[in-house]
Structure 1
């Protein structure tokens, strides 16, 4: 998470900087180029996610994640070389970003499906909170560190990524061997397994509601794609200021994850999840309207805290309601929704910023996330009725 999130930040800033500097684009055109970056990363995710879910359910999940990290090492090496030799080409950056998206799609379902194999059910909420805490700490450290590394020399973050991913691969393979998938699952045709995964989610209305809520709320409310614009042209803090801005949501999320690892939620989890998504939208609006750097950091931390609150509840309930032989596929479907909301959200933000300006785009997205929450609370009463992690469908 340190390397992946840090690299995403510097790729975005580098693309925007090249578009504005080397290509001479206006802010509006460069914002659109950032939006295209999100689309380029989403397309391989959309195409490969069903395959990644089946792979996670049919093969050793540790090896699947490790192979994906090795592909990411290739991306980091490529970006390091074109940056070192000052090859200012948007096409090359887009190509490596697409490969980065392809690698990530195999990591997420494999890693998400491992926890229930090594953690007893009764402590799953704490385990998920601790895993989320580790993820958010990585998300917090990566962007901040990589921003300063990029300011020192633009190629340094990519060389650091290569070294860090070696460590990540070793750590992943150190996890004890997973139990083999059921023989029936290995005999089932992969295409049939893909279809079964989608049918399972469609029939489980609670899972469908959780996944689509995240999809549309973050699709509208995501402001991270426009942070390079805020750092360079609105708050005027440059790459050094961009790192802390990308880290601020992770700081808020890490604080919430730490609290949940000590004292997990117990009651009215569904209502609390919906309220957290609405707060996420409100904090996004506040960030969009802020012209003060420190206030912007506080707003971004609020965005991350609210997002972590809802993600913790949604992830715990999803894992507990999904049988092990389906976890890879359900995690993959959830992952493509998350990726769609993130990458397509970047595309939406770029397009909106080219029409409404960056401030208007962020405010519009935050209001949209609040509206989506209200619609989903009405359309999926199963979300409101979730009382606890053991009785998620209580009336």
Structure 2
């Protein structure tokens, strides 16, 4: 078998433009989420308010996901991405205004809070379309033989944005304040629109243009349900992230438990993304394709252990280390999951499969944020984090015992078939 080229996807010019665009969007989105988390908790001092932020985004993301997947499969992908970025720009500009003291000086705190929740809700609508569009556009930029490598680099850039965004947010809140930090987010969204002009219009590969929406949605759900490798990976990751969503409570740890301020908050928020980023780069050279099932189970089990350690820690750097290794474990999970999706999804169904993925995995982050906020309110912050990590461990053990076919999943054969394609 010939040696794999770890930089295969980077040899395509449009893919590099795509990576720059993706970085700008992830940087802006993750920075915005951190700024709003900080602002809302500063206004309320209520952990449940952090959970509500997640809930406001996840409700529209789940409700619109399948419909969005159908639309993405029916439309030209560059045009769809332009509309998504433009809508995000409107949301970020609205949050820029709501965090401007001069603009909201005469408003009641609850009025500002509800305005923020509303804009976060609109952001959830945008995200329902953005995920499937990005996933589908990637497959039109590079040939099939480099899908796995492209997925790894795309995930790496996502992690870079996740590292830099929270870090910049933490420091910019201190240096220039919440309001001007939101101005940086808006500027990034405008830069993304400009970058998108460097990508050409792509063909629509769906042979069923104009297909009735209900029939289209049924076909997408049926495909995921009957493909056990996709279904198993998505379900396992969804439940694990749902109960391991400790990052939603980081403002409480930073302000009230570890007492490290906005700079420490930025470090804590960035730590898991740094770990995941390092894993992504390593995976480009040493892929996790062989025995993917058992490796995915092991990665999520390790993730649960790290969450428990973080919850019990009262030492800042131990907390940072635990979050770092949780990111390493999560990075392995992301690489394996994205490879499964890219290798096993037909071109004409990418939007719908990505939409189902966003329901299972993407939205579980926000549901996890709500679950963490609610359990923190009911049983205390530390207990809630330890509870979530413990549930993650139980779910992994249960899945490994009950689903031996998933435990024995291996992707090497699928990878070899795609690499041999022209």
Match of 2:205 among 168, 177, 181: 181
For 1:275 and 1:48, the matched residues in 2 are separated by: 32
Instruction: Report the equivalent of 2:53.
Output: 37
Other structure's SS at 1:236 match: coil
Match of 1:47 among 63, 72, 76: 63
Instruction: Report the equivalent of 1:122.
Output: 145
In the alignment, is the contact (CA less than 8 A) between 1:126 and 1:260 conserved in 2? no
Matched, 1:242 2:287: no
In the alignment, is the contact (CA less than 8 A) between 2:248 and 2:373 conserved in 1? yes
**Which aligned pairs between 1:308-323 and structure 2 lie closer than 5 A?**
308-323=331-346
For 1:62 and 1:263, the matched residues in 2 are separated by: 32
Of the structure 1 ranges 81-90 and 236-245, higher mean CA displacement relative to structure 2 is found in 81-90
Alignment length (residue pairs): 382
Matched, 1:78 2:94: yes
In the alignment, is the contact (CA less than 8 A) between 2:64 and 2:125 conserved in 1? yes
Deviations 1:199-223 (A, max 9, x none): 1111112211111111111000111
For 2:100 and 2:210, the matched residues in 1 are separated by: 49
Gaps of 5+ in 2: 1-25, 416-422
Q: CA deviation at 1:331?
A: 0.6
Deviations 1:330-358 (A, max 9, x none): 01100121233111111110111012211
Output the TM-score relative to the length of structure 1.
0.93
Of the structure 1 ranges 356-365 and 172-181, higher mean CA displacement relative to structure 2 is found in 172-181
Instruction: Report the equivalent of 1:5.
Output: 30
**Which aligned pairs between 1:35-184 and structure 2 lie closer than 5 A?**
35-85=51-101, 87=104, 88=109, 89-151=112-174, 152-182=176-206, 184=207
In the alignment, is the contact (CA less than 8 A) between 1:55 and 1:64 conserved in 2? no
Q: CA deviation at 1:170?
A: 2.6
Q: 1:109 to 1:379 in 2, by over 3 A?
A: farther
Gaps of 5+ in 1: 21-29
Structure 1 runs of 4+ aligned residues shifted over 4 Å read none
Q: 1:144 to 1:173 in 2, by over 3 A?
A: same
Q: CA deviation at 1:391?
A: 4.1
For 2:382 and 2:200, the matched residues in 1 are separated by: 48
For 1:345 and 1:335, the matched residues in 2 are separated by: 14
**Which aligned pairs between 1:311-390 and structure 2 lie closer than 5 A?**
311-390=334-413
For 1:139 and 1:274, the matched residues in 2 are separated by: 24
Match of 1:295 among 309, 315, 318: 318
For 2:196 and 2:239, the matched residues in 1 are separated by: 32
Q: CA deviation at 1:365?
A: 0.4
Q: 1:266 to 1:49 in 2, by over 3 A?
A: closer
For 1:357 and 1:289, the matched residues in 2 are separated by: 12
Matched, 1:202 2:225: yes
For 1:373 and 1:282, the matched residues in 2 are separated by: 11
For 2:214 and 2:205, the matched residues in 1 are separated by: 17
Instruction: Report the equivalent of 1:193.
Output: 216
Q: CA deviation at 1:139?
A: 0.5
